[in-house]
């Protein structure tokens, strides 16, 4: 049970909510009737339901659009504790069950993170024009190896990258802000001890300077090295924006949609091939230790260089964007509607152009 404010609905509303341990359904206490109610039933509504779940870092899924009952999926838990990312070590099987390998024509290109049974979060820059044939992408899950022999393989239905990721607008623009994308899978995943979603940050959750997090991936084990065969993991601290924007670091290139993590002396960092992968840290915001996706591997100068730490997309800045993308794309991805063009902007305004029935 927890006390939280549902500030995202326009006015702050204090509410006592609980997640029933038996069925994982979110309930809200109705003070007028002195009883617990399903959060999106009766006097509550679908918007309140979604926001309630998102506030505590879960991804929500309302099962019915008529009689609404909210099911909050579990997230950020792992069955196996962790025992080349440059300077990293081999991960154990099942240690990071949300990590996926995004492969184009069978070749690893980027990492990604499972956030629900149908959705993956990655980086926008993983999808330049030459890689935009969606049916040639595959998602490898449930393995520390980036080969399909020991992994589950999922097909991709849709890829949505942030429409204000400026390098896709003009290749000469040197601004990597809004480097985020989501992928919808053709079929829902079946979760097990090796395939699990990571939690998104809670609304209003702030990064803490010096906080340790873990970055994982199959990227190069050196700037001129080769891709790792086994998933690599490395622990690095979050660096303050002030330090990372100093002239000898990144000289004011770090915007509010990014953050840095690494060591002043270098030696441990993400590298080519780690892009789109997770930077996670555990906390007890929901009274149980869970890992939350604080960052997405985005860019950096070199790999593991002194005063040139890895730069990550700040996921907490894009919770409305992710939520809007998931909600609206779920609505339009029905068999009778063919999605032709998808554009999602950071201001939460979404435009769809359809071929067939439906309207924008």
- Point out the residues that are catalytic: 125, 179, 275
276 DSSP assignment:
T
* Cα separation, 181 vs 315, whole angstroms: 11
Contact 344, 327 (CB under 8 A): no
Q: How many CB atoms lie within 10 A of CB 216?
A: 27
* Cα separation, 114 vs 121, whole angstroms: 7
CA-closest candidate to residue 59, choices 237, 213, 245, 191: 191
Q: Which phi-psi region, left, alpha or beta, contains residue 258 (left: φ > 0; alpha: ψ -120 to 50)?
A: beta
Task: Give the sign of the dihedral formed by CA 263, CA 264, CA 267, CA 273.
Answer: positive
Q: How many CB atoms lie within 10 A of CB 61?
A: 18
CA dihedral 222, 217, 156, 169 (to 10 degrees): -60
Three-class secondary structure of residue 166 per DSSP? helix
Contact 269, 225 (CB under 8 A): no
Contact 351, 325 (CB under 8 A): no
Three-class secondary structure of residue 24 per DSSP? coil
């Amino acid at each position: 049970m927890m006390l939280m404010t549902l500030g995202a609905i326009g006015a702050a509303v204090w509410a006592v909510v609980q997640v029933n341990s038996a069925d994982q359904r979110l309930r809200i206490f109705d003070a007028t009737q002195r009883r617990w109610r399903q959060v999106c039933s009766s006097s509550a509504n679908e918007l309140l339901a979604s926001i309630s779940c998102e506030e505590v870092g879960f991804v929500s899924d309302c099962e019915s659009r008529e009689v609404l009952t909210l099911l909050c999926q579990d997230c950020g838990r792992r069955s196996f504790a962790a025992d080349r990312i440059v300077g990293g070590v081999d991960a154990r099987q099942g240690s990071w069950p949300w990590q996926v390998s995004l492969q184009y024509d069978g070749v690893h290109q980027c990492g990604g993170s499972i956030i629900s049974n149908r959705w993956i979060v990655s980086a926008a820059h993983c999808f330049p024009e030459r890689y935009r044939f969606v049916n040639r992408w595959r998602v490898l899950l449930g393995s520390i190896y980036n080969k399909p022999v020991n992994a589950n393989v999922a097909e991709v239905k849709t890829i949505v990258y942030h429409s204000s990721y400026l390098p896709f607008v003009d290749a000469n623009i040197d601004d990597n802000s809004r480097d985020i994308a989501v992928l919808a899978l053709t079929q829902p995943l079946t979760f097990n001890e090796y395939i699990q979603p990571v939690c998104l940050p809670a609304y209003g959750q702030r990064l803490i300077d010096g906080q340790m997090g873990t970055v994982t991936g199959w990227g190069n084990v050196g700037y001129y090295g080769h891709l790792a065969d086994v998933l690599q993991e490395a622990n690095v601290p979050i660096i303050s924006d002030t330090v990372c924007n100093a002239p000898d670091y990144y000289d004011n290139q770090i915007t509010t949609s990014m953050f840095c993590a690494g060591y002043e002396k270098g030696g441990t960092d993400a590298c080519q091939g780690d892009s789109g992968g997770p930077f996670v840290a555990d906390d007890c915001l929901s009274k149980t230790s869970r890992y939350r996706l604080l960052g997405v591997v985005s860019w950096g100068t070199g790999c593991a260089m002194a005063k040139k730490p890895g730069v990550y997309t700040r996921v907490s800045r894009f919770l409305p964007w992710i939520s809007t993308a998931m909600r609206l794309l779920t609505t339009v991805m029905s068999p009778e509607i063919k999605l032709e063009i998808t554009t999602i902007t950071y201001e939460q305004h979404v435009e769809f152009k359809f071929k067939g029935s439906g309207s924008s």
